[in-house]
Amino acid sequence: MTDFNPKVSIIIPVYNGANYLREAINSALAQTYGNVEVLVVNDGSTDSGATEKIIKSYGSRIRYFSKENGGVASALNEGIRGMSGEFFSWLSHDDVYLPEKVAVQIALMQQLQSPTVLYGDYELINGLSQVLRRVTIQHYSPSEFRQALVCDNPIHGCSAMVPRVCFEKVGLFDECLRTTQDYDLWFRMAKAYEFLHMPVVLLKSREHAEQGTVTMSALHNRECNDYLISGMQQLVAELLAKGESKESSSMFMATCAISFRRRGFSQTAKQAFREVKLTAGVWKLLMHTQYRTLLLSYLNCCVQRLCQQMRLQLFQGRR
């Protein structure tokens, strides 16, 4: 398979991104792998033409798409529908690919027997492109990965490379979601395809005050809550359908709640606890010192459920 040379489509969605866009485009064009097309999708920018001017300065070296504002998901979908490559690679307008990002992933794709989504580690950078730290992703087996998507969220979307065929089976990004469109897609896609972690740094991910998860933090928290609870419920249903015990499902829900709390989603953790059934395993898990606050939250939920049952029984007894 020495002639394995598939085209890779790098799609860059952008909205009012003049500050960092040029650095992102340059990193896409600087890939050591040769068979690459770069698509930039202008999602209705309103910065007096600053974003469009940067895009057009690259001429025929990139493919330019312009659309009305609809969010990142809609811009990515526009690019996916217009791409001519066999593999999709997403690059946010404020992030930067390492030069060998595409090459190392295609080299591994060549060795795989079935369509697989690849993803890797990354470095965090600030607004001045200074490296803050490396983020090393924990490796999960295919059987663990969907649970990890709920309990840990172990994938940076811009480190991923996705075979085009995967979209044909599971669909595109959900355009109703403004900040969690990638979480949702990976969760759906992981039910049909394997995700494989590459323990190498593939990109530099920028943290800055203008990014969507910061400017739309309230919406992001609501969408995360919906995604996490829905994902947990789907996984519990799958565990029970496979014949797992209710003890196992309660242990999993308690583990999810602990993860949600650790990641700052305290209200989501409380909501998850409402569905947990007290078992010996759950009790043992929550007795650890670092989970005492969660234990109190769980006991509070238990008391509330008991009170509701008692009120219902009293009401029925009076009828």
In-domain check, residue 240: yes
Structural domain boundaries, residue 157: 8-215
Q: What angle do CA 155, 212, 188 make, to 5 degrees?
A: 40
pLDDT of residue 303: 59
Residue ending a domain, choose from 195, 215, 235:
215
User: 42, 46, 124, 116: which is closest to 76 by C-alpha?
Assistant: 42
Residue ending a domain, choose from 165, 183, 215:
215
CATH code of the domain containing 24: 3.90.550.10
pLDDT of residue 164: 98
In-domain check, residue 3: no
pLDDT of residue 289: 44
Which segments of the chain are extended strands (E)? 8-14, 36-43, 63-67, 87-90, 96-97, 116-125, 131-135, 162-163, 194-206
Q: At 50, which amino acid appears?
A: A
- In this predicted model, what pLDDT tens digit does every residue of 224-258 receive, in sequence order? 999 999 999 999 999 999 998 888 888 888 889 88
In-domain check, residue 211: yes
pLDDT of residue 272: 87
d(CA 182, CA 158): 10
- In this predicted model, what pLDDT tens digit does every residue of 22-32 receive, in sequence order? 999 999 999 99
Cβ atoms of 121 and 41 within 8 Å: the answer is no
- In this predicted model, what pLDDT tens digit does every residue of 45-67 receive, in sequence order? 999 999 999 999 999 999 999 99
What's the domain count of the chain? Answer: 2
* Same domain for 239 and 155: no
- Average pLDDT rounded to a whole number, residues 128-149: 94
In-domain check, residue 1: no
- Average pLDDT rounded to a whole number, residues 38-51: 98
User: 98, 97, 93: which is closest to 50 by C-alpha?
Assistant: 93
Taking 60 as the threshold, does the pLDDT of residue 168 lie above it?
A: yes
- Average pLDDT rounded to a whole number, residues 260-279: 82
Task: Grade residue 318 by pLDDT with cuts at 50, 70 and 90.
Answer: low
In-domain check, residue 244: yes
